[in-house]
Amino acid sequence: MINSNFTDVNVLFLFLILWMSGCEKNTSAEVDTDPPQETEFEYDILQLGEIPIGLWVTPPPSFQNHEEYRNIKESGINFINGFMFHETNYNAINKVLNLCQDNDLKYFTSKAIVHENIVKYSNKPEKNLLEKFTREILPYADHPAFAGELLMDEPGKPLFQSISAFTKAFEEQYPSKLAHVNLFPSYATGGIQTANYEDYINSWINTQNPKHISYDSYPLLTDGSIISDYFYNLDLIRTKTKFKRIPFWTFIQTLSIAGTPGVPDKREPSEADIRWQVWSNLAFGAKGIQYFCYWTPGSGTEQFGDALIDKEGNKTIRYNYVKNLNSDINTIGRILLGCDAEGVILTGSSAYKMYDPLYEFGDIESISGNEGIVGCFTSEEGERMVLVTTLTPTKGTKIAMEVKSNVSSVKKTINNMTEEINVYDRKLTLEVDPGEAVLIEF
């Protein structure tokens, strides 16, 4: 996410880290353009048995209590990205780990010193920095709620080799835990610090051999439209992770954002806006979602509206939007979690750019309709299915499919309701309202 702090002083500190990383010599390996080989990576990397649903910005210290963490759990969130500006020392980290354990939540620790030392190591790779990093995890390494370490948010390419060294050290010492890093979106042309976004993602995969990929892209613009490269970004990540079966996680915009340098201002999301983001991400194959933000952050260079919880600790209307949505995606999320994302077919006249569009799939002979997204999947057993949602948050879609003659019935799931429907004359018509989705299993 565009990681903002609470004061201009701390924002200046973060910008200093980014400036330092931009001054480094680029030592990344040459990009391998050959398709990567398949690995045995699993999609359910947190072993939750359901779609990982995370948050960014934890409750501040004065709200670190059982009630607030019970609210997190009741919203349908199942893991937490630690927030270095709230959990600033071991006591705070252990307190939150205990709260997470009590509420069946997983927690990624995040410490400012780790960010700083990754930058230091990139300039001068000293072994003691890696030893210090792994040693300082020992006090909570065996805690049941500890999921892994959030190493860095939005690194540029010059930091990739350094992050790889920290990740390797972490995985050697704590093989059952996850090294977590969140990447830039495709519109962050200044932040990636390389020629283009495809090189940025290729380089990340080649230097890290990651167990998962996480990135953020916030699409809801103040003029009511969505950013033009939103689907391109999703499809590029889907394509690059497909061969190695690497799960990718995305972020969901829950608040208005203004003042991000070089980026258009973002509107306050409606319920349909939030639901559309989640369904469209799942249609492209996302295996985890994270909400930016849960608790409303303070404003510095960037100005933020209210998130799910306001600065005073009150639930906003978006808390219930997300709570209902997280419940609604449960059944479909469990099904898609183990499936390969084969590609996406866009219907309608809008010419949104895609990285590797799909035009046909499985038992579907043809698809037509207005402004729709058709995500195509194959299960581990070889069964085909599609998730159909709307192309934009505000307009519904009507999709007509002509299927092969061997298809006499399909399973249709809307939210958590599943039914078997008959197919007549090889035709299947679906109507999807804004903010909704339909899963069809052939």
Of 320, 337, 354, the last residue of a domain is 337
Number of H helices, E strands in the chain: 11, 19
Predicted confidence at residue 1, as pLDDT, reads 56
Predicted confidence at residue 265, as pLDDT, reads 98
Of 303, 322, 337, the last residue of a domain is 337
Check whether residue 327 and residue 356 sit in a common domain: no
Check whether residue 221 and residue 237 sit in a common domain: yes
Percentage with pLDDT > 70 across the chain: 91
Check whether residue 347 and residue 214 sit in a common domain: no
Residue 345 lies in a domain: yes
Identify the CATH number of the domain in which residue 353 sits.
2.60.40
331-355 b/e with 16+ CB inside 10 Å = b? Answer: bbbebbbebebbbbbbbbeeebebb
- Using left for φ > 0, alpha for ψ between -120 and 50, and beta otherwise, residue 262 falls in left
Predicted confidence at residue 42, as pLDDT, reads 85
* 199-213: average pLDDT: 98
Range of the domain at 79: 8-25+35-337
Element of type H or E holding 378: strand 372-378
Question: How many angstroms separate the CA atoms of 147 and 145, rounded?
Answer: 6
Residue 225 lies in a domain: yes
Check whether residue 262 and residue 322 sit in a common domain: yes
Residue 40 lies in a domain: yes
Residue pLDDT, tens place only, 3-37: 444 433 343 333 333 333 333 333 333 334 444 44
- The amino acid sitting at 131 is E
* 145-158: average pLDDT: 98
For residue 380, pLDDT beyond 90? yes
Q: Would you give the DSSP letter of residue 23?
A: T
Bridge partner residues of 345 (DSSP): 374
For residue 204, pLDDT beyond 60? yes
For residue 201, pLDDT beyond 50? yes
Check whether residue 325 and residue 420 sit in a common domain: no
Cα atoms in the 13 Å half-sphere on the side-chain side of 30: 3
Residue pLDDT, tens place only, 217-268: 999 999 999 999 999 999 999 999 999 999 999 999 999 999 999 999 999 9
Q: Which long-range contacts (CB under 8 A, 24 or more apart) does 84-89 make?
A: 84/110, 84/111, 84/112, 84/115, 85/5, 85/6, 85/10, 86/57, 86/58, 86/59, 86/60, 86/61, 87/58, 88/112
The distance of Cα 280 from the centroid of its chain, to the nearest Å, equals 12
Residue 2 lies in a domain: no
For residue 286, pLDDT beyond 60? yes
Identify the CATH number of the domain in which residue 233 sits.
3.20.20.80
For residue 392, pLDDT beyond 80? yes
- Contact partners, residue 84, CB within 8 Å, separation at least 6: 110, 111, 112, 115
Residue 30 lies in a domain: no
Of 311, 337, 363, the last residue of a domain is 337
Residue 3 lies in a domain: no
Question: How many angstroms separate the CA atoms of 224 and 394, rounded?
Answer: 9
Residue 1 lies in a domain: no
Check whether residue 90 and residue 157 sit in a common domain: yes
* 146-171: average pLDDT: 98
For residue 401, pLDDT beyond 80? yes
* 54-65: average pLDDT: 98
Predicted confidence at residue 41, as pLDDT, reads 53
Peptide bond into 23 cis (omega under 30): no
Check whether residue 346 and residue 392 sit in a common domain: yes
What is the residue-wise DSSP string for 134-166?
HHTTGGGTT-TTEEEEEEEES--GGGHHHHHHH
Predicted confidence at residue 124, as pLDDT, reads 98
Q: Tell me whether strands 257-258 and 248-253 are parallel, antiparallel or unpaired.
A: unpaired
Question: How many angstroms separate the CA atoms of 360 and 384, rounded?
Answer: 12
* 145-151: average pLDDT: 98
Q: Where are the alpha helices (DSSP H) in 284-316?
A: none
Check whether residue 67 and residue 179 sit in a common domain: yes
Residue pLDDT, tens place only, 94-106: 999 999 999 999 9
Total number of domains in the chain: 2
- The amino acid sitting at 98 is N
Check whether residue 268 and residue 414 sit in a common domain: no
Predicted confidence at residue 19, as pLDDT, reads 38
- Kindly report the pTM of this predicted structure: 0.91
Residue pLDDT, tens place only, 81-132: 999 999 999 999 999 999 999 999 999 999 999 999 999 999 999 999 999 9
Check whether residue 222 and residue 190 sit in a common domain: yes
Predicted confidence at residue 17, as pLDDT, reads 39
Predicted confidence at residue 38, as pLDDT, reads 42
Residue 293 lies in a domain: yes
Question: How many angstroms separate the CA atoms of 389 and 413, rounded?
Answer: 12
Check whether residue 173 and residue 94 sit in a common domain: yes
* 49-59: average pLDDT: 98
Check whether residue 396 and residue 255 sit in a common domain: no
